Structure 1
Amino acid sequence: MVPTIDNVVAWTEHITIALYGSVPSMLRNMFVDFMEKNGHSKRVQKLKKASIDMLDLPWVDPENDTDCGIYVMRHMETFKGEYSGKWITGMKRNSKQQMRYMRVKYCAAIVGASSNLLKDNILSEAEKYCRLTNELGPINMEKILLRKLSLKT
């Protein structure tokens, strides 16, 4: 089985075909072709015949179609090949507070990354923001981002 993940829809075979058509199978076949062209043909024999199955996820939220990137980040962070009730993400259905926290977590990680070429500019702007709001001390990106997020909601 090739597990396929979507955070918005509880899956059935009919919904999968209606929404995605043959795309999941095409992606699998393209990956198989890539692996074979790069000398891994023995490793993909099972994959060639594997079914494409959508995972039934307890945190699926049909109302939340704006945080797909957050779900993707969390899925990449926690998915280790376990599924069928064994995959532990810590995610909850319909938790606005959790989504807010995760937006901050991933945003702070991206902004603060040493590979972020704009890090210094962003931190400088954050520092200006701190001064404007009379905050002194070291920059706490999570605190700043949480404040900004709470102003928007």
Structure 2
Amino acid sequence: MARAKRVKEIVCDYLEVEYPTMHPKMSPLEPEIMKMSWQTEKNFVDCGVFAMRHMETYTGKHVSKKEWDSGLSKESPEQDKELVELRYKYLSKILLSDINLAKGEMMELLEKYEKMEPEKKEECKKNAETKINDRLNKKY
């Protein structure tokens, strides 16, 4: 709970400077840590994906955990599949966004990939998966 209170303090400091009329509305509120059915105990790498999904599905209204549907399953192999799909979704949106300075380069790479033989595509996927797993397992 201490972290939640610290985040609230930081947000309130920001509001006080940037949106002074919002500060008095936020400062008396107490943070509430929601228990969500899709919370995980073993997944320590997808916090960014969860954050994106929360921003995508949270309406800003006070809702109970029963009312808020993120579309994610409980921690399971099914949830793992959903997270992979969301990674693809968010990655493609970021890479192909008009504000991405490297969009042209990404489009060229995509066109090259689309022209590859199926075997070569599969090899590229395996190589990418290996690189990703190596990075995730690397100790810093």
Partner Cα distance (1:38, 1:61) in 2: 35
RMSD: 2.8
Match of 2:72 in 1: 91
Unaligned stretches of 5+ residues in structure 2: 131-140
How many aligned positions are there? 122
Tell whether the 8 Å contact from 2:53 to 2:70 is kept in structure 1 after alignment: yes
Partner Cα distance (2:96, 2:9) in 1: 37
Query: TM-score, normalised to structure 2's length?
Result: 0.71
Partner Cα distance (2:14, 2:118) in 1: 55
Tell whether the 8 Å contact from 1:35 to 1:44 is kept in structure 2 after alignment: yes
Query: TM-score, normalised to structure 1's length?
Result: 0.66
Q: CA distance change for structure 1 residues 27 and 97 in 2, over 3 Å: closer, same or farther?
A: closer
Q: Which of 66, 72, 75 is the matching residue for 2:51?
A: 72
Between structures 1 and 2, the one with greater helix share: 2
Q: Which of 96, 112, 119 is the matching residue for 1:128?
A: 112
Residue 136 of structure 2 is aligned to residue 152 of structure 1: no
Unaligned stretches of 5+ residues in structure 1: 1-15, 17-21, 136-143
Tell whether the 8 Å contact from 1:36 to 1:44 is kept in structure 2 after alignment: yes
Higher RCO, 1 vs 2 (CA within 8 Å, ≥6 residues apart): 1
**Runs of 4+ that moved beyond 4 A:** none
The percentage of aligned residue pairs carrying the same residue is 26
